[in-house]
């Protein structure tokens, strides 16, 4: 969906990150508030005041989305779910769960926490707004508080639309799940509704464009595209996990992978390994022990005339829990780890010994065959 993002801070041990795309929407919202919204409703202020109001409004929106996602995360933690953190991106924010909720009750509780928190926060802003107006503090402060009251209610209402993966779609999925006891069926139905709602937004965006509201139309259409894709990927991910469950990593790993020694030069590994075998990554082994790996990413910026002056050991990347996995681990763990880290391959190790490599391509080929032979509704 998006990259790892820029880490900002931690709260309640949740890492808060901002995707680069968030800065685009932050700038657009600040400009819109300063040039349109606040001047329309609060006339007579200076341009500087409007810009400060716009910036304050964006920061308040930033805090509101974090609060919304934080409530999701805190409830998820109560149900024993591991959370990777919270990332803000161009379409809002997301609390990154490493797995689906363990029960329909957990799904409902986690999903409803977000809109409920936005409603509560919105009325909190409204209460402060009323106090500000009564004691006569500057109109600019009251205007920002009133905007934050409105935007939090809008955030809550939009998220309650029963279109997966919006919060309302997750609430709807939890109801279907509780009714039938079938997570897969519930996900398929709610994902279809989410995809349909996304298509509706795309169509609505096109109508806006035809009628001259180009910016609004593009924005609505992009939201529709995002929701449509996200709903389809959510169902696809569930299918993958359910079909890999119970399969061990060692079933899919490639045994006795090609390895490189640490003492050879970059010229040697490029000519005799990368160019010869056409892999982008090679594990590095010394005295029978796996010590790390080297990939094209680490050496691509080294000038060709310096390849003979450097060894593999200088560019060695150490192994960690993000790029290795034991052979007896469930294949779903490998898939989730690849999704979390963005690595397309993991090294399979026992102690300090490398015994194989598992790749995303191998997992997807297995899933493709299994779905083709066994599945009727995918």
Domain ranges of the chain: 6-244, 249-374
- Residues near 204 by beta carbon (within 8 Å), at least 6 away in sequence: 220, 221, 224
DSSP string across 224-282: HHHHHHHHHHHHHHHHHHHHHTT-BHHHHPEES---B-TTSBHHHHIIIIIHHH--SEE
Residue 206: the pLDDT is: 92
Cα–Cα distance, 354 to 61 (Å, whole number): 48
- Specify the 3-state DSSP secondary structure of 120: helix
Cα–Cα distance, 191 to 184 (Å, whole number): 10
Cα–Cα distance, 269 to 284 (Å, whole number): 11
Residue 128: the pLDDT is: 92
Domain spanning 249-374: which CATH class is it, in words? alpha beta
Dihedral of alpha carbons 152, 155, 157, 162, sign: negative
Residue 92: the pLDDT is: 67
- Which residues are paired to 322 by β-bridges? none
Radius of gyration of the chain (CA): 25
Cα–Cα distance, 221 to 215 (Å, whole number): 10
Cα–Cα distance, 230 to 245 (Å, whole number): 22
Sole residue written with tokens 């924005």: 219
Residue 332: the pLDDT is: 86
Q: Hey, what long-range contacts does 349-354 have (CB within 8 A, 24 or more apart)?
A: 349/290, 349/319, 349/324, 349/325, 350/326, 352/289, 352/290, 353/288, 353/289, 353/290, 354/257, 354/259, 354/283, 354/285, 354/290
DSSP state of 323: T
Per-residue pLDDT of the chain (378 residues; tens, 9 = 90+): 444 567 777 887 777 888 777 888 888 888 988 988 899 888 888 899 999 999 999 999 999 999 999 999 899 888 888 777 777 776 667 777 767 788 899 999 999 999 999 999 999 999 999 998 888 778 888 899 999 999 999 999 999 998 888 899 999 999 999 998 888 888 889 999 999 998 999 999 999 889 887 877 888 888 888 888 888 888 888 888 877 878 888 888 888 888 999 999 999 999 999 899 888 888 999 888 889 888 888 888 888 888 999 999 998 888 888 888 998 888 888 888 887 777 888 889 888 888 889 888 888 888 888 777 765 444
Element (DSSP H or E) covering residue 358: strand 353-359
8 A C-beta contact, residue 185 and residue 214: no
Residue 91: the pLDDT is: 61
Cα–Cα distance, 300 to 109 (Å, whole number): 48
Cα–Cα distance, 210 to 204 (Å, whole number): 10
- Residues near 158 by beta carbon (within 8 Å), at least 6 away in sequence: 166
Residue 177: the pLDDT is: 92
């Amino acid at each position: 969906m998006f990259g790892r993002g820029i880490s900002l801070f931690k709260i309640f041990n949740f890492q808060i990150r901002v995707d680069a795309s968030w800065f685009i929407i932050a700038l657009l919202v600040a400009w819109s508030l300063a040039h349109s919204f606040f001047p329309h409703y609060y006339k007579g202020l200076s341009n500087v005041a409007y810009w400060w109001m716009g910036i304050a409004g964006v920061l308040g929106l930033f805090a509101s989305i974090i609060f919304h996602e934080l409530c999701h995360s805190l409830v998820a933690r109560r149900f024993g779910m591991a959370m990777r953190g919270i990332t803000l991106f161009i379409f809002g924010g997301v609390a990154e769960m490493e797995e689906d909720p363990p029960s329909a009750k957990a799904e409902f509780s986690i999903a409803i926490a977000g809109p409920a928190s936005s409603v509560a926060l919105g009325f909190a802003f409204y209460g402060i707004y009323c106090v500000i107006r009564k004691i006569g503090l500057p109109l600019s402060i009251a205007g920002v508080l009133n905007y934050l009251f409105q935007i939090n209610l809008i955030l809550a209402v939009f998220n309650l639309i029963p279109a997966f993966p919006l919060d309302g779609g997750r609430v709807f999925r939890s109801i279907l799940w509780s009714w039938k006891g079938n997570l897969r069926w519930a996900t398929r139905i709610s994902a279809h509704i989410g995809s349909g709602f996304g298509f509706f937004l795309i169509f609505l965006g096109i109508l806006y464009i035809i009628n001259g509201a180009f910016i609004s139309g593009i924005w609505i259409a992009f939201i529709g595209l995002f929701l449509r894709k996200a709903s389809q990927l959510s169902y696809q991910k569930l299918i993958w996990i359910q079909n890999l469950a119970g399969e061990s990593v060692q079933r899919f790993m490639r045994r006795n992978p090609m390895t490189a020694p640490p003492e050879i030069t970059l010229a040697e590994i490029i000519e005799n390994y990368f160019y010869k075998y056409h892999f982008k990554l090679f594990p590095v082994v010394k005295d029978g022990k796996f010590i790390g790996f080297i990939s094209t990413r680490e050496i691509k910026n080294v000038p060709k005339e310096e390849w003979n002056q450097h060894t593999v050991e200088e560019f060695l990347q150490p192994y960690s829990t993000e790029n290795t996995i034991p052979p007896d681990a469930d294949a779903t763990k490998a898939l989730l780890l690849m999704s979390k880290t963005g690595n397309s391959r993991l090294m399979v190790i026992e102690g300090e010994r490398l015994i194989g490599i598992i790749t995303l391509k191998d997992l997807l080929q297995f899933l493709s065959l299994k779905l083709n032979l066994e599945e009727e509704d995918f």
